[in-house]
Amino acid sequence: MKQGCVFKVEGPWSQVESDGLNYRCSLRKKVKVAADRQTSPVVVGDTVQFVETSPGEGVIEGILERRTKLSRLAPWARGKEHVVVANMDQVLVVVATKDPPLKTRLIDRYIIAATNGGLRVALCVNKIDLVDEGDMSWVKDMYGSLGYPVLFTSAVKGVGIDELASVLKDRKTVLAGQSGVGKSSLINRIQPGLGLRIQDIRKAARKGKHTTSWVTLLGIDIGGYVVDTPGIRELGLWDIGKQDVAEFFGDIWEIGKDCHFSMCSHTHEPRCAVKTAVERGALDKLRYESYLRILESTKENSTR
C-alpha cells in the first residue's frame, strides 16, 4: 500500500502525489459509502492510502483522518457537507476593494467556517490600486483588532506581494473568496510561471462567470503549498447552530458576558450589554449587523 496526497479531484478520479510521482486513482466503493453525508468522499488535501494497479494508476483504499477542513453547506445537495479542502493550515480570505465590492458578510462567514474547521485566518484586500489606501483602513482596524492579519495587495501593480509571500511561506494555505477578486492573479504573482488562468479583463463585467473551475493544490518555491479555489457568491455555513454564532464573534462574545441573561442572543432581550455597546458606539454597528444576519441565516440552515 502506498500513501499520498490528493492534489486534484476530477469527477471519479483523484490525482495523487506520492514520492514525487503522480497517480490517477479511482475509489474503492467502501470508501464512498463511509462518507455519504458529504458531497465527495475524497477532497483535495486528503492523505490517502492506495494500491498501484498499473503504472501511474491506482485505487484508493482509505482516507486518513483530516487534521483540518474548510467546509460549506452544499447549496446543490441540501444538508450535505461540502468539504472544499482538507489538511490546510490557514485560509487566506481574498476580497477586492471594488469590482466586485467588498462584503464584510462573506469575510465573517469565512472566519466562522475556517475557525470551526481548525484553520487560522488571514485577510487579503486585493485591487488596492483601484482606491486610496486610506479608504480601506477601516478594514485593517476592524479585523486587525480581532487578531487577524490584514494585507493590502495589488496583483496587477505588484503591491504587498512580499508581505503576502511571508504569510504563505512554509504553510499550507487555501485562497478563498468571491469570483473575480484576484485569487489566481495573486498566486501567479507569488509563483510566476504557473500560468493559472485568470479572468479576461474584457469579460470581467460578465456576472457569474468563474474562471477557476477546479480546486487545485500547488507547491510554491518559497516553501509551502497554496490551494486555488473557484470563487463563490455565498458561503452556506455547515454544522453551525444558532447558539454557536456568538462564539465566533470574539468581540461580541466578550461584551456579551455582561448581558443580564446568560443565554442572551443579543436580539430582543432586555438589559443586553451588546445592544447597549452598539448604542454607545463601543461596538461597530457593522459588526453587530453582520452578527444578526448570520444568526438569522443559521436559523434557516441549522443542521442540528
User: Is residue 139 within 8 Å of 286, Cβ to Cβ?
Assistant: no
Question: Which of these ranges, 6-14, 121-129, 175-183, 278-286, lies near Mg ion under the rule CB under 5 A?
Answer: 175-183
Judged by CB under 6 A, the chain residues 164 through 203 that form the site for ligand GTP are 179-185, 198-199, 201
3-state secondary structure 229-282: CCCCCCCCCCCCCHHHHHHHCHHHHHHHCCCCCCCCCCCCCCCCHHHHHHHHCC
Sole binder of Mg ion in the list 87, 188, 212, 265 (CB under 5 A): 212
User: Which residue number is nearest to ligand GTP in terms of Cβ?
Assistant: 231
Query: Smallest gap, in angstroms, from Cβ of residue 292 to Zn ion?
Result: 12
Is 154 near ligand GTP (CB under 6 A)?
yes
Which helix (H) or strand (E) segment is 138 a member of?
A: helix 137-145
Give the dihedral sign, CA 224/173/155/125.
Answer: negative
User: Is residue 224 within 8 Å of 173, Cβ to Cβ?
Assistant: yes
User: Is residue 197 within 8 Å of 206, Cβ to Cβ?
Assistant: no
Query: Smallest gap, in angstroms, from Cβ of residue 87 to ligand GTP?
Result: 22
Phi, psi of 188 (to 5 degrees): -60, -35
Sole binder of ligand GTP in the list 41, 45, 224, 231 (CB under 6 A): 231
Judged by CB under 6 A, the chain residues 67 through 126 that form the site for ligand GTP are 126
Binding residues vs Zn ion (CB under 5 A): 259, 264, 266, 272, 274
Q: Which spans of this chain sit near ligand GTP (rule: CB under 6 A)?
A: 126-127, 129-130, 154-156, 179-185, 198-199, 201, 204, 210-212, 230-231
